């Protein structure tokens, strides 16, 4: 059910008016990203998992979906002990909106920095575009959904369609 709430929230964000929220709400949602960064940098897989609702989802850069705090904890315990041990996480360009009073969407960029003296592994060194959907709960804001998608190369552009007048001239 909560998965549907997260998916619906993302869809509503495209069509629903943005609800005015207090600065405290926006700060609390942004602090989820700060807590994510703190858990990452301390290699705290359990702390990371506690940020999620009981059926919260995390989609990793290569498409692996982790559902629920136990899967998120277990999935990160191994990488925090190996390829991401000692890495740091930069979070930039954060923007929050509230499609409903109790649902927030936080978009941000993240960069996993390799541990000093090591070569980047996994997604380290790559800018990732993230969407975090949070829900207000009795205990505060919890993450319902978080993804991290590799950013397109700087020189990437979608092809453009020919202008309508150019298409008409070619038809003659």
pLDDT in the model for residue 96: 95
Determine the Cα–Cα distance for residues 52 and 69; give it in Å rounded to an integer: 6
2-151 fold: Nuclear Transport Factor 2; Chain: A, (3.10.450)
Average pLDDT per 10 consecutive residues for the chain, totaling 172 residues: 49 47 89 96 97 96 95 96 93 95 96 88 87 95 96 88 71 58
pLDDT at residue 8, as a whole number: 46
**Model pTM score:** 0.79
User: How far apart, in Å, are the Cα atoms of 3 and each of 20, 21, 149, 169?
Assistant: 24, 23, 19, 50
**Rounded to an integer, what distance in angstroms lies between the CA atom of residue 162 and that of residue 146?**
37
> Any idea where the domains of the chain sit in the sequence?
2-151
Q: What pLDDT, on a 0 to 100 scale, did the predictor assign at position 119? A: 85
**Chain-centre distance for alpha carbon 15:** 20
């Amino acid at each position: 059910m909560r998965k549907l709430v997260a998916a619906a929230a993302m869809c509503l964000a495209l069509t629903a008016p943005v609800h005015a929220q207090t600065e405290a709400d926006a700060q609390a949602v942004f602090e989820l990203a700060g807590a994510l960064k703190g858990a990452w940098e301390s290699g705290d897989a359990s702390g990371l998992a506690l940020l999620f609702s009981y059926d919260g989802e995390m989609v990793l850069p290569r498409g692996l979906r982790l559902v629920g705090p136990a899967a998120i904890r277990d999935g990160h315990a191994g990488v925090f002990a190996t390829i991401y041990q000692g890495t740091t996480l930069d979070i930039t360009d954060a923007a929050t909106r509230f499609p409903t009073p109790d649902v927030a969407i936080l978009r941000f960029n993240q960069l996993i920095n390799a541990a000093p003296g090591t070569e980047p592994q996994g997604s380290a060194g790559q800018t990732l575009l993230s969407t975090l959907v949070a829900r207000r709960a009795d205990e505060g804001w919890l993450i319902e959904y978080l993804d991290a998608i590799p950013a397109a190369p700087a020189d990437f552009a979608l092809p453009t369609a020919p202008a309508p007048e150019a298409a008409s001239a070619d038809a003659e």
